[in-house]
A and B are shown apart, each in its own frame.
Chain A
Amino acid sequence: MLLVVLDHDRGELDESTREALTFGRVLAAKMGAPMEAALVGSDDGDLVAAAAEHGAATVHTCVHEILVDYGPDAHGSVVAQMVEALDPAAVLAGGSDRGNEVMAHAAARLDTALATNCLDVAPGDPWSMTRLQWGGSLLEDCTLEGDVALLTCAVHALAAAPAGGRRAEIRPFTAALNETHAVTMVRDRIVGEAGVTLSTANVVCGGGRGVGSEEGFAPLEELAALLGGRVGCSRAVTNLGWRPHSDQVGQTGTRIAPEIYIASGISGAVQHWVGAMASKHILAINTDREANMVAKADWAVIADLHEVIPAIIEEVRHRRG
């Protein structure tokens, strides 16, 4: 049996869950085994439905006063206890922050290997998989040994596709939990600003070291505002203190997926590129024709950004009348 752990926040389905269920369905078929789901905490109605829709015939649910809000320790402990009681051949979660965290807690408690952020998994003895390294700039083929294969699938490894299932049987699971599991629990939440964020913006105007100064970002701000987009930046810029880290695009920053990414004065190091590669189109503005960002772009302007960006702003204004 393959057990898929459902990622949710206080009963509300996380985006990665449908992907994990789809990934799980493909994997279960390769295993020639049924897919079941694990729900730690209560359901707002969509979770069991999503599991059923994606082909899980059974959902093991664990409800407990400690599990009302998220706690990595408690959630990981329940998954570990489910592994011991239900004896699945493999356990899979989505490669979201929580998915990876809960599985690492379970793996630590079971003292078993865990392969995170897999793109492809083949059951066997040992199991083999391809997983992300360097935030996706590099792939690793590896093998996994143990009594149970613990896995997470990379976010967007494949598109979620429901299988048309209608009903899943709910099987209550009783876990041994105590106050120590409640030490690490969400105590409070601070809600961030609403509206267009870097990760959801349709247009991103990115600036790198080539922008030259904090003030140099004013034209990028202006262009982003004109196009209803957001300013992004490279780590060189964050490190220089020109922009806050929340603007950083890349491996240790934000992953963007705009219709167009306008990358100015950015060389295109792999760690920046992995954050930008989901952009549908890229326009690079760089004085260096050989820059990696230029090579990877759909369009490029080989020139000083300080001259080009004001000219673009003027042209946008002119066309709009």
Chain B
Amino acid sequence: MKILVCVKRVPLPGARINVTDDGLEVDAAHLGFTTSPHEECAVEEAIRQKERHGGEVTVLTLGPSEAEEQLRYAASVGADHAVLVETDGAPWDPQRTAAALADVIRELEGGDPFDLVLFGNESADSGGFQVGIRVAVALGRPTVQGVKGIEVSGGVVTVRRAIDAGFEVYELPRPCVLGVREGLNLPRYPTMKGRLASKKLEIRALTTDVDPGGQTRVRLHRPVEAVSETVILGEGPDAAAAVVDVFAELGVL
């Protein structure tokens, strides 16, 4: 099976998210970077499917040259090939991102489609909930989002999608496109051997020429939050009485 996973490099903020002076981006000067948990699960799933059915896993990202870091991470846990579509660094809107990814996927496939193309359900930062669907429609392939279970048997891909009351089951033909959610699996950590191998991974650079879409960022800002005064109930087990007073006051005792 040939599997492609689309991942996006995003900053990893801690207790608060700061914004650059021009308001256009998250101030990542002192932050590390990661991929969304959903996409980490997509990478893990691709590797598990490869282990089960044989084949190859390719990871693809569109972003600044530093996004190589996320591709190497995917390789360190078992991805075979990596492709970077380099941007000038400015964020791309979902329509443009999807058009570029669809172009690149067509080029990588050269008429021989990936059996599965995996996306995260939504990106961690901009959360547009649409790039995977737009790519699927552009490629003319069936797609389901919110996927928390994938089973491939012959030409049929059975997926489970989480809903409030349990799961919905879909059966898709191959090739198809899936948007997955964290909880699909528990991603493995890289091994030392994997880390070393990923350093040598050759990253294929591709470019595309697509126009911006209709959504344009004006500025990012933090929501207004109520400032709370924290009442310290104590500094040891003696605080238990005060805690249970709170329970009684709230009517949960």
Q: Is the CB of B214 within 8 A of A134?
A: no
Given A111-B95, A139-B220: A301 touches B253 (CB 8 Å cut-off): no
- Supplied contacts A227-B253, A270-B17, A315-B244, 10 more A-B pairs, CB within 8 Å: A108-B133, A133-B127, A183-B142, A186-B169, A189-B167, A191-B166, A229-B252, A238-B186, A253-B183, A299-B230
Interface residues of B in 2-23 (CB under 8 A from A): 13-17, 19
Q: Does B72 contact A (CB under 8 A)?
A: no
C-alpha gap A23/B182 in the complex (Å): 30
Q: Does B231 contact A (CB under 8 A)?
A: yes
Q: Is the CB of B17 within 8 A of A300?
A: no
* Interface core residue of B160, B170, B187 (most chain A CB under 10 Å): B170
Q: Does A234 contact B (CB under 8 A)?
A: no
Contact of A300 among B182, B221, B231, B247 (CB under 8 A): B231
Given A108-B138, A301-B235, A315-B244: A259 touches B214 (CB 8 Å cut-off): no
Q: Is the CB of A312 within 8 A of B240?
A: yes
Q: Is the CB of A113 within 8 A of B214?
A: yes
Q: Does A1 contact B (CB under 8 A)?
A: no
Q: Does A160 contact B (CB under 8 A)?
A: no
Q: Is the CB of B142 within 8 A of A105?
A: no
**Which 10 residue pairs spanning A and B have beta carbons closest together?**
A113-B214, A245-B183, A192-B166, A311-B237, A108-B137, A292-B15, A311-B240, A104-B130, A188-B169, A145-B214
**Residues of A contacting B110 in the complex (Cβ-Cβ under 8 angstroms):** none
A 76-109 binary contact with B (CB < 8 Å = 1; else 0): 1000000000000000000001001101110111
Q: Does B80 contact A (CB under 8 A)?
A: no
Q: Does B153 contact A (CB under 8 A)?
A: no
User: How large, as a class, is the contact surface on chain A?
Assistant: 35 or more
Q: Is the CB of B145 within 8 A of A267?
A: no
Q: List residues of B whose CB falls within 8 A of some A CB.
A: 13-17, 19, 26, 36-38, 93-95, 98, 124-130, 133-134, 136-138, 142-146, 160, 163-173, 181-183, 186-187, 213-223, 228, 230-244, 246-248, 250-253
Q: Is the CB of B166 within 8 A of A189?
A: yes
C-alpha gap A100/B248 in the complex (Å): 41
Q: List residues of A whose CB falls within 8 A of some B CB.
A: 70, 72-73, 76, 97, 100-101, 103-105, 107-109, 111-117, 126, 128, 132-146, 183-192, 199, 202-203, 227-229, 235, 238-239, 241, 244-246, 248, 251-253, 259-260, 267-270, 281, 283-284, 289, 292, 294-303, 307-308, 310-312, 314-316, 319-320
